[in-house]
Amino acid sequence: MRVSKAIETRVTIRQFLPTPVPEKIIREILEIAKRAPSGGNLQPWNVHVLVDDPLKALVDDIAGKLKKGIEEDPEYNVYPPELVDPYKTRRRIVGQMLYELIGVPRDDLPGKLKQLSRNFRFFDAPVGIFFVMHRQMEIGQYADLGMFMQNIMLLAREYGLHTCAQEAWARWPETLQEHLGLADHEMLFCGMALGYSDETAIINKLTSEREEFENFATLHGF
C-alpha cells in the first residue's frame, strides 16, 4: 500500500468487529513502527498491548466504576481549558457531526456520556494499546510519541486494520497504573483501539473536515 493511500484511508473507527488480530501482526506492526524518528533517538515510548483476559478485566473494572459513579483525577488536561478559535469551533463541529450521525440530540448529556464511555470498551476492538512515557519527558518527546503512534495507525491500514487513538484513557490513571503495573515515574499518554472496522456501523461513516491549504500553510520564496 502506498503511504498516501494509508493516510487517505486512515480514519477514526468507533465500532470494531470482534475478529481477533493475530499476535504475529501486532508484533510486525510494532517492530516496523519502532523505526519512527525521535529527537536524540530517545525512543521515549513504552507500549502495553492488551487482548483477551487482561483487556476484559480492564474494561469490566471501568464499567463497574462508571456504574458506581467513581471518577479519577485525569492524568492531564486533554484540551486547554480556554480553547480559542479556530480550534474551539473545529472541536465543536466534529462533535456535532458525530452526535448527529448517531442520533444523540444536542442537549442529551446522558447520551453523550454513554458514547464517551464506549471509549472504555475500546469500541469493542479486540486489541487495546496504551502508550506510556517517563514523567520526565518534555514537549519534544510528546511529538516523538505522536510519530510512533501515527506509524502504527498507518501500518494498521496495510494489514486491513483500523484504529482509534484515545486520549479519553487519561481519565483513568490509577486504574491503568494498577492494570498495567506502571511505576510511579510512568505516565499514561494515550490509548488506542486496534481491530477490523464494522463497516455496517453508522458511527464509522463520519468523515471529519480539514482546513483549506491556504488556511494552514504559508509558502515563502516560491
Ligand X SMILES: Cc1cc2nc3c(=O)[nH]c(=O)nc-3n(C[C@H](O)[C@H](O)[C@H](O)COP(=O)(O)O)c2cc1C
Question: If binding is defined by CB under 6 A, does position 168 make contact with ligand X?
Answer: yes
Question: If binding is defined by CB under 6 A, does position 102 make contact with ligand X?
Answer: no
- Candidates 127, 129, 154, 165; binder of ligand X (CB under 6 A) is 165
**Rounded CA separation 10/100 (Å):** 22
Question: If binding is defined by CB under 6 A, does position 204 make contact with ligand X?
Answer: no
Cβ-based nearer residue to ligand X, 8 or 52? 8
- Candidates 28, 124, 158, 167; binder of ligand X (CB under 6 A) is 167
Please, which residues have CB within 8 angstroms of residue 66's CB and are 6 or more apart in sequence? 117, 120
Residue 211: how many other CB atoms lie within 10 Å: 10
Q: Where are the alpha helices (DSSP H) in the chain?
A: 3-9, 23-33, 52-67, 87-101, 109-118, 139-158, 173-180, 213-216
Cβ-based nearer residue to ligand X, 53 or 209? 209
Find the residue with minimal CB distance to ligand X. Answer: 168
| Smallest distance from ligand X to CB 183, Å | 23
Question: If binding is defined by CB under 6 A, does position 12 make contact with ligand X?
Answer: yes
| Smallest distance from ligand X to CB 125, Å | 12
**Rounded CA separation 5/19 (Å):** 24
